Chain A
Amino acid sequence: MAEKPQISSNTTSANFSSLPVILLLGLFSLPLLVMYAYLFVDTISDTEVGSLIPNEFTLRHWSFLWETKTGKPNIWLVTLNTFIFASCITGVILTVSSMAGYVLSRLNVPARGFFLAGVMVLHAFPSVTLIIAIFIVLQWIGLYNSLIGVILVKAAVELPLGIWLMKGFYDTVPWEIEMAGTVDGASRFTVWRRLVLPQIKPAVMALGLFSFLTGWSEFIMPQVLAPGAKVQVLSVYLASLIIDDNNFDFGTFKAVGVFYVVPVLILYVFFQKHLMNIYGGGTKG
């Protein structure tokens, strides 16, 4: 199972030296690295105006972690909201697309072609253009300024891609597995849950991760549909720091930015393997 990555890392050194490649990549990534390093240094130091060299160490910019700024919601509440937002989106997207994808791939439902085309069109449609209409609808049904409302909207907007992806992966699962399952006495639902779904597990993991990251970084929807202090998410919180023209604080802005990106980095470290898998064709053996 773990052979794949090993092979690819070994073969590079077999044919040519990887050193020039590493040097070149290093050279090109250097500006990025410097920027990230500088960003982090900036959050824990003060720099005199006009200078590039930090002159004193301070935790002042990170104080948002332990004291709530006036007029701003508590950072931990905001973080929790963001987690709820991203996780619920992931849950909805995974549940709906893994089922809808199966139906579109395998079941002889009426108007299947129409649904397939519809999913494609919806995916291509720029969802921002809908935001005013959605705003009105949400306000009308009383879900404006609530996490539920924005979760439903964001999940719905992401669903076409998820369904399409899942359908593609289901298409690669051999029919015989399903035939064998039904002949063995399993209901169609059991066949899906116990036999077919496990075949596309890597794809499900990857879609889950993507959905979480999309939710985590989403800004426009929460900003427009749920800007209230109780339901604010990190991206909105971050934006609110510089939107205030009178007293903006770049140190804190940068610190919140770093704080915002840390969970993403952690996720990438843990799920890297699954992420690679979705590009490598998903299921194996």
Chain B
Amino acid sequence: MRILLDKFSKSFGSTRIIEDMDLEVGSGEMLALLGPSGCGKSTTLFAVCGIHRPTSGRILFGDRDVTHLPSQERNVGVVFQSYALYPHMTVEENIGFPLMVKRVAAADIKKQVADIAALVHIGDLLGRRPAQLSGGQQQRVALARALIRRPDVLLLDEPLANLDAKLRLDMRSEIRRLQKETGITAILVTHDQVEAMSMCDRIAIMKSGEIVQIATPSDMYKDPRTSFVASFLGNPPISFLKGRAQQGAFVLGENGLRLPLAALSGIADGTALSLGVRPEHFGTAGGVPVEGRVVFAETQGRENLYDVVLPDGSVLRSIQPVRDDVKPGDSVRWNLDSASTFVFAADGQRL
């Protein structure tokens, strides 16, 4: 079911957290709300499920206006960051709780709980209490409880934040599998760009209560609208060079690097610019030679990561297939793929 936020605003007292947010999540789509901690992701999510009342604006599920509907009547499933399992109930009672409050017959509940538990692979844990489960198992119970009512909408608030790295990888594909199998519309809140990129159809990237850009993961990676978006996506992260415009070229320092860029035609000379270079676009391939000194090298198994200091002091990151010939302290002359760089104005807007 489609979710639509129309001019949604939320304040706590006099602090405005979200102002006039417009957001549409298509039916059956999984959308990531990505942004740094404290930017209002959870606030948005809690408004969608009815825990917070919007200060103004509308929230629609399908064509139904649910803005003033209490959360009990919205038919949403929520997985909380802390899972919020009921500690005094067994797994079976936890998962069956949404049905129990709907007064479904006990035998029916038992059957449905068994079905959904099998779907999330916790069929053998039904008799345990939450305290007797590992983090990943608690996560699955929380998912099962959110899904058992066959909600119109599934909301996930940083569902993987409390898991260790290996489990996070498993649950990432697990959640995506469940979402696809049930065909449910889902919103995933996360501050981890890898999660957002790998799990979702589209990403809405947020900064202090505003959505900066909405796009598919690959579009957003290839075509970031602001330097904030560019710096948020990608691991290892993008590096920035501070320079100026000069006759349609980006110039670094006095007699330093000079990059003619199509995006800079018509930009006044001397305009302050920042050039974003992803680590994979600085290395052996590419057309513009850049000289510098390696100050940091790190191997990640399959690839090596280098930090290179340019003569003017700015740093470029490079990621390359494993090689043994470069050590920290070495002077290198590597190539920069100028066509894949992004130029941003001083205010962060892409040019």
Residues of A in contact with B (beta carbons under 8 Å apart)? 174, 176-177, 179-187, 190, 195, 198-199, 201, 285
In the complex, per-residue mask of B131-148: 1 if CB is within 8 Å of any chain A CB, else 0: 100000000000001000
Asked whether, in the complex, the Cβ of B71 is within 8 Å of the Cβ of A182, the reply is yes
Asked whether, in the complex, the Cβ of A176 is within 8 Å of the Cβ of B80, the reply is yes
CB-contact partner of A190 in B101, B131, B149, under 8 A: B101
- Secondary structure call for the A interface: helix
Asked whether, in the complex, the Cβ of B145 is within 8 Å of the Cβ of A179, the reply is no
In the complex, per-residue mask of B76-87: 1 if CB is within 8 Å of any chain A CB, else 0: 111011111111
Asked whether, in the complex, the Cβ of A174 is within 8 Å of the Cβ of B82, the reply is yes
Q: Is B286 an interface residue (CB 8 A)?
A: no
CB-contact partner of A185 in B80, B83, B101, under 8 A: B101
Give complex CA distance A280, B145 in Å: 32
- Additional A-B contacts beyond A183-B74, A185-B149, A187-B72 (18; CB < 8 A): A176-B82, A176-B83, A177-B84, A179-B46, A179-B80, A179-B84, A180-B78, A180-B80, A180-B85, A180-B145, A182-B50, A183-B78, A184-B97, A184-B101, A185-B98, A185-B101, A198-B88, A285-B87
Nearest-neighbor residue (CB-CB) of A186 within chain B: B101
Give complex CA distance A199, B78 in Å: 21
Q: Which B residues lie within 8 Å of A199 (CB)?
A: 87-88
Interface centre among A184, A186, A285 (most CB of B within 10 A): A184
Q: Nearest Cβ in chain B — how far from A259, in angstroms?
A: 39
Q: Is B70 an interface residue (CB 8 A)?
A: yes
Give complex CA distance A61, B149 in Å: 69
Q: Is B102 an interface residue (CB 8 A)?
A: yes
Mind listing 23 A-B residue pairs with CB under 8 Å?
A176-B80, A176-B81, A176-B83, A177-B84, A179-B51, A180-B84, A180-B145, A182-B50, A182-B70, A183-B49, A183-B51, A183-B74, A183-B77, A184-B101, A184-B145, A185-B98, A185-B101, A185-B149, A186-B97, A186-B101, A190-B101, A199-B88, A201-B88
Interface centre among A174, A183, A187, A285 (most CB of B within 10 A): A183
Interface centre among A182, A190, A199 (most CB of B within 10 A): A182
Count CB-based A-B contacts (< 8 Å).
Answer: 59
Give complex CA distance A179, B52 in Å: 10
In the complex, per-residue mask of B51-79: 1 if CB is within 8 Å of any chain A CB, else 0: 10000000000000000001110101110
Q: Nearest Cβ in chain A — how far from B275, in angstroms?
A: 44
Give complex CA distance A174, B86 in Å: 10
**Known contacts A179-B51, A182-B71: A174-B84 contact under CB 8 Å:** yes
Q: Which A residues lie within 8 Å of B49 (CB)?
A: 183
Give complex CA distance A187, B131 in Å: 26
Give complex CA distance A85, B77 in Å: 48
Give complex CA distance A174, B51 in Å: 15
Give complex CA distance A199, B84 in Å: 13
Interface centre among A180, A181, A190, A198 (most CB of B within 10 A): A180
Give complex CA distance A174, B98 in Å: 19
Q: Nearest Cβ in chain B — how far from A200, in angstroms?
A: 11
Asked whether, in the complex, the Cβ of A285 is within 8 Å of the Cβ of B131, the reply is yes
Q: Which A residues lie within 8 Å of B80 (CB)?
A: 176, 179-180
Q: Nearest Cβ in chain B — how far from A204, in angstroms?
A: 13
Q: Which A residues lie within 8 Å of B84 (CB)?
A: 174, 176-177, 179-180
Asked whether, in the complex, the Cβ of B72 is within 8 Å of the Cβ of A182, the reply is yes
Q: Nearest Cβ in chain B — how far from A188, in angstroms?
A: 9
Asked whether, in the complex, the Cβ of B97 is within 8 Å of the Cβ of A179, the reply is no
**Known contacts A180-B80, A185-B102: A195-B86 contact under CB 8 Å:** yes
Give complex CA distance A184, B87 in Å: 16
Give complex CA distance A31, B328 in Å: 80
Give complex CA distance A3, B145 in Å: 30
Interface centre among B77, B83, B98 (most CB of A within 10 A): B98
CB-contact partner of A184 in B81, B83, B131, B149, under 8 A: B149
Nearest-neighbor residue (CB-CB) of B155 within chain A: A183
Give complex CA distance A201, B88 in Å: 10
CB-contact partner of A183 in B76, B81, B82, B102, under 8 A: B76
